[in-house]
Amino acid sequence: MKLSIPFFSILFLIFSCKNRPETTKKTTTPEQKIETAPVVQNEADTSNMVHFAGGTITIGTDNGPANEGPSFETQVAPFYIDKNLVSVADFRKFIKATNYVTEADKFGDSGVFMFDQGQWQLLKGANWKYPLGETKPQALDNHPVTHVSWNDAQAYASWAGKRLPTEFEYEFAAKNGGSTIYPWGNTVLKDGKYMANTWQGASVQDQDTKDGFLLTSPIGYYGESPAGLTDMVGNVWQWTADVYRSYPGNPNQEPADPKVRTTRGGAFMFDQAGDKSFTTTFRAKNSIDTSIFNMGFRCAK
C-alpha cells in the first residue's frame, strides 16, 4: 500500500491513523484487544542530562518562516534535558522491561520516504527495530530511535521517570541559553566542517551527502554544543510536550489541536526550508500517533 504526500512542509504534513486506509489497521473483537503493558515509572537518572538554570530568553525570530514569529521574550524555569537523543539501545531496554507495543507495531506500518520511488509510503513492517522494513538491516544501537510516535515517546519518558521537553525548553537548550541561529553559532559550517546530520542537496533527488550520511548518523557524531548537548538539530526531528500553537501576535493564528504537537530540530531528510530547517527556532508539527523514519526524541526533567 502506498501513500503519496509531499516530503516536506514547514507545517509538517501528518502521517496519522486518519490517513491510513482501513486495510492497514488491525481489526479486533472485544476479546482480541491489543493491550499495551502499563508503563512503570522509574526514578530519573540525571547523570547523562544537562542542567539549565533557566531565565529570560527570546523565543522565535522575525527573520524566518512565518510560524516562527513574531519573536517574544519569556521566562523558562530551571530544567534538565538529556544530553543525547534516545537511542535504539535505550528504547530496546524500555521495550524489554515493559512489553510496550508501539503504534507503528499496532498499525503494522510506518512512514518511510522511498528514495527509489520519490514518495512517502506507509511501509509495512517498518518500526523502531526495522526502520526501512523487515527486509532491510536492523537499526544500529548507537543511532537515534525512530518510528516512535508522540504517544510512544511519552510512554518511554514516563518509564524513565522523565517527560518530554517543552518547546521553549528545547529552544533554550539549543541556543545554550543565548541567541545563536544554530547550536554551534551563526553559520551553517564551522571551520569548514558540517556540524549536524542534515540534507545538503537542493532537492530530494539531489542526494549530496557531504556530511557523510544519507539517513541517521551515530548519536554524538558531530560533537557537543557549548552547553554539552549532542544532535540538538539534524539527525531526527524531536517531539516536544507542547500542543502546536501560533505565537502571540502572529497574524495567522491557527486553532490549537491537542492531538497535534510541536516538533523541533529538523532532520537528515530534505526540507524545502533548506538551512533554516535546522535552526534553533524552526518549528513543525505532527499528530500524536504519527511515526516516521526521521522522527525521534529526547527527555527532560
Confirm if 82 and 300 have CB atoms less than 8 A apart: yes
pTM: 0.89
**Conformation bin of residue 191: beta by default, left when phi > 0, alpha when psi is -120 to 50:** left
> Selecting from 3.30.420.40, 3.90.1580.10, 1.10.760.10, 1.20.120.1200, what CATH number does the domain 48-296 have?
3.90.1580.10
**Contact, 152 vs 287, CB < 8 A?**
no
State the burial class of residue 137 (Cβ atoms within 10 Å of its Cβ: 0-12, 13-18, 19+).
exposed
Provide the residue-wise pLDDT of the chain in tens; the chain has 301 residues: 333 333 444 334 445 544 554 333 333 333 333 334 456 678 889 999 999 999 999 999 999 999 999 999 999 999 999 999 999 999 999 999 999 999 999 999 999 999 999 999 999 999 999 999 999 999 999 999 999 999 999 999 999 999 999 999 999 999 999 999 999 999 999 999 999 999 999 999 998 899 999 999 999 999 999 999 999 999 999 999 999 999 999 999 999 999 999 999 999 999 999 999 999 999 999 999 999 999 999 999 9
Domain ranges in the chain are: 48-296
